[in-house]
Amino acid sequence: MTAHLFRAGLLACLLGVGAPSTHGLGVSDRLDGLDSLPPDQAGLLIFTAADEKASGYVDMQVELEMVLRNSRGAATRRALRIAQLEIPNDGDKLLVVFDTPKPIRGTALLSHGHKVLPDDQWLYLPAVKRVKKIASSNKSGPFLSSEFAYEDLIAQEVEKYSYRLVGGATLDGAACFVVERKPVDAHSGYSRQLVWLDEAELRVQQIEYFDRRDDKLKTLTVSDYRLHAERFWKAGRMQMVNHQTGKSTALHWRNYRFATGLHEERDFSTNSLRRAR
């Protein structure tokens, strides 16, 4: 089974994955023969199946509130909107627009994801009307000063990691696969991640991140999954806790919309970045 046959949705792992509740293959069909595979192939099969279930959404729009808390619990809030487009045989395209805080309103990020090559990313700064391309080494940096790195949120292509099924565990009463994945790109900020996916619907429930020195850095917990458009499981809440600094970031996802008629040239070019608001 070659991974590149399967396309991955941006944010797919974090935004959850879709199970066709009324049609298509069930999870058990997709994971046929899992028990007989060596751990690396089993891990890849799980993520490939999860990715397949998340595919076919065409395009998506969602609103996001980000709550940053420092170690004393003081909160800073940011509101943003995300538009996302599936691109056949390549990584997906993503436009993020910042609404608040007001001083950065209209700031926007455009990402053209790729499976193996580094993603292309541009940032638009409305005060100076300037579009700046972002170096790909930036992926390990904080996304909007949050505890999420760019690489945690953007371009979760299957090809960007190698996998190993390390076992099973029960999380909040749900049976989960635990898969270790290692980033392929040397610019990643992580040595490895441990990912919990529930066996029933292959939704990411928890991720532990280990820094380059292999110390435990962060834990992400994902909750409030709901089924959208009768096939896509999407999370309502995510909580990232940084164990080394005591800071945390909560994401609240709202108003998921699918197949809204977004267009590649009109909505995901550097021109659209300049007028995104």
Partner 1 sequence: MRRALLAGLVLACVANAWGGDDGRTEWDVNLGLQARAFAHKGLAGQSRVQPSVSVELEYFRSWDQDRQRLTVTPFLRLDAEDSRRSHFDLREAYWSRIGRDWELHIGARRVFWGVTEFKHLVDVVNQTDLVENVDGEDKLGQPMVHLSLVRDWGIVDLMLLAGFRERTFPGRDGRLRRALPGKGSAATYASHAEEFPIDTVVRWSHAAGPLEWGIYHFSGTSRQPLLFPQVNGRGEGYLRPHYPTIDQTGLEAQALFGDWAWKLEAISNSGFDGRYNAFNIGFERTLVGFGGTRSDLGIVAEYMHDGRDERAFDTLFEHDLAVGTRWSLNDAADTQALLGVIWDVETDEYIFSIEGSRRLGSDWTLELEGRVFGGGSLPDRNALLESLFDPTNKSASLQRDDYLQLELKRFF
Q: Which residues bind partner 1 (CB under 8 A)?
A: 68, 70, 76-77, 100-105, 117-118, 120, 128-130, 133, 135-138, 140-142, 145, 187, 189, 263, 265-266, 269-271, 275, 277
Phi-psi region of 103 (alpha: psi -120 to 50; beta: other; left: phi over 0): alpha
Output 25 or 79, the one with its CB closest to partner 1: 79
State the minimum distance, in angstroms, from the CB of residue 140 to partner 1: 6
* Residue with smaller CB distance to partner 1, 41 or 136: 136
Cβ-based nearer residue to partner 1, 114 or 181: 114
Residue 91 CB, nearest approach to partner 1 (Å): 14
Query: Measured from the CB atom, is 5 or 128 closer to partner 1?
Result: 128
CB nearer partner 1, residue 77 or residue 226? 77
Contact 200, 174 (CB under 8 A): yes
Smallest distance, Å, CB 74 to partner 1?
8
CB under 8 A, 24+ apart: contacts of 109-112: 110/268, 110/270, 110/272, 110/273, 110/276, 111/10, 111/154, 111/155, 112/268
Query: Shortest distance, CB of residue 14 to partner 1, whole angstroms?
Result: 20
Closer residue to partner 1 in complex, CB, 150/161? 150
Taking the complex as a whole, how short is the minimal distance between the CB of residue 3 and partner 1, in angstroms?
22
Least Å distance, CB 55 to partner 1, is 24
